Amino acid sequence: MIDRVLRAAAYPEPYRARFARSIVKRLRIGSYPTRLAIEGVERPWYGWCLYSAALQARALGHDAITVAEMGVAGGNGLLVLCDHADEVFRATGVRVRVFGFDAATGLPPSDDPRDLPYVWPAGSFKMDVARLKDRIANRAELRLGEVGNTLSEFQPEAAAPLGAVMFDLDLYTSTSRALKILDSQNRIPRVWCWFDDILGGVDNLYCERNGERAAIAEYNACHRDALLSPANCDFGRAAPRYWHQQIYIDHRFSHPQYNQCMSAGQHELPLR
């Protein structure tokens, strides 16, 4: 109890801000963009990726996008993703098709040091398939099996190009295969991505040659016309959060709409 009080007292944010955020989150007070900006939503990183992708898609003439969660595990994240999809539609008019990819049997065994076997024991994060399917009925679609196989049979529809991907597969090998989704023919020029396992505690010790970071480095080395880069944006001028570092943008420079301007009219800076 004492440790909890000490941690709360030392937290670098006023209690009033934390209390106000909890009320906004529970009662859904204010517009969705405002709640995103103040983290008054569950998993704001999911919301930022979906909302920003929807705005880009709308500016480019699309009225729907596809989003995917790579690594569903128990399914809590997928349900939150569905909630954000509903909010994004109400805020932007852009429909969001949600897909979840997972083997359902838990993490596979691996002796590849890039898969961080010192962190992730085989069999972790199994899925209760029947229960999850019941919870996401008519809201999302599951693609079950080894991600390399399921992705080979997957292609977003032209009417709903790929806009955002949440990567939470833990391992280098799985993430490396999952990144092939970014090569989809139907996608927006700058796909929003979130990577769960590039930051962690002292037990994780991620580096550029293991886990998701290694998969990202390999992807960038193999693509001349693309770059997975940190988002480098201000997230609504919010105070810096750890999850800001986990959001990346996949720039596809060869995309036919990459150079299409998304802002209306010309920008002016009149002399004062």
pLDDT at 157: 97
Decide if 182 contacts 163 (C-beta within 8 A). no
How far apart, in whole angstroms, are the C-alpha atoms of residue 37 and residue 57?
20
Mean pLDDT of 33-39: 92
Contacts of range 239-246, beta carbons closer than 8 Å, 24 or more positions apart: 239/13, 241/39, 242/199, 243/44, 243/45, 243/194, 245/198, 245/199, 246/45, 246/194, 246/195, 246/196, 246/198, 246/199
The CATH superfamily holding the domain 43-252 is Vaccinia Virus protein VP39 (3.40.50.150)
Chain segment 192-241, per-residue pLDDT in tens:
999 999 999 999 999 999 999 999 999 999 999 999 999 999 888 777 89
| Distance between first and last Cα of the chain | 58
pLDDT at 15: 67
Whether residue 61 is predicted with pLDDT greater than 70 in this model: the reply is yes
Reported as a pLDDT band with limits 50, 70 and 90, residue 263 is confident
Which one-letter amino acid corresponds to residue 28?
R
pLDDT at 99: 98
Domain residue limits, the chain: 43-252
Is the model more confident about 103 or about 268? 103
How far apart, in whole angstroms, are the C-alpha atoms of residue 33 and residue 87?
10
